[in-house]
Amino acid sequence: MRTERALLTSLRKLWALPPATRSSEDYTLLGRFGHGFAGFSKAGLCALVIPISRLAGPVAGRRAAGFELVAHPTTRCEFQDHGTTGPAAALICTDPDLRHAFAILALDVLARSDQKQEWSSIVEIVDEWQTLLSSQTGAVSLEIESGLWGELWFIAASDDVDRGCLELARPRRGRDRLLRE
């Protein structure tokens, strides 16, 4: 199995391609990642489509600055020789400037939803991310949330992710020292 960094690199390269969409399809799938598919939405946005076991009744998606989670009662997912038809969750990057950071979210959702391909478990993971990206007293501004996405990208791109997390969590002088090195 490929390492997380290799998966992240593959996903980012795939989403760096020009969107190849077909007008008759909601999603153009370009690669399989675990139990999900990476590609582009009909609007040309980066998307991760995960076939799920079922949708029980009406469901509510999630939306934040930079991404949205949408439930589809019936979706045809076909890539190379593998195809499925059924309910699916689609995680869509709504801000193309955040696609590199969005790849981290997408891989986390894939990794953590591996055992249960259920809508509720995917929503739980996305809710955790929304909580992470919001303050204790309420939602943060779009600028602050974009900054948090940027910090996530910075950590993921560093040579030493553990050290990057520690340095960014320290007071401001830690961030300055990390940037100089």
Q: Can you give the pLDDT of all 181 residues of the chain as single tens digits? A: 347 778 888 888 989 888 765 656 788 888 888 888 999 988 889 999 998 888 777 788 888 878 999 998 888 777 777 767 788 899 999 998 888 888 988 988 988 887 668 888 899 889 888 877 665 455 667 777 777 777 777 777 777 766 666 666 554 444 444 444 4
Q: Is residue 17 part of a domain?
A: yes
Q: Which amino acid is at 171?
A: P
Of 51, 92, 93, the closest CA to residue 72 belongs to 51
Q: Is residue 43 part of a domain?
A: yes
Look up residue 79 and give its amino acid. F
What is the count of structural domains for the chain? 1
| Residue range(s) defining the domain that contains residue 124 | 4-132
Predicted model pTM? 0.72
Instruction: Report yes or no on 156 lying in a domain.
Output: no
* 109, part of any domain: yes
Strands 82-93 and 36-41: unpaired
89 within some domain? yes
Q: Is residue 140 part of a domain?
A: no
Residue 33, domain member (yes or no): yes
In a domain, 172, yes or no: no
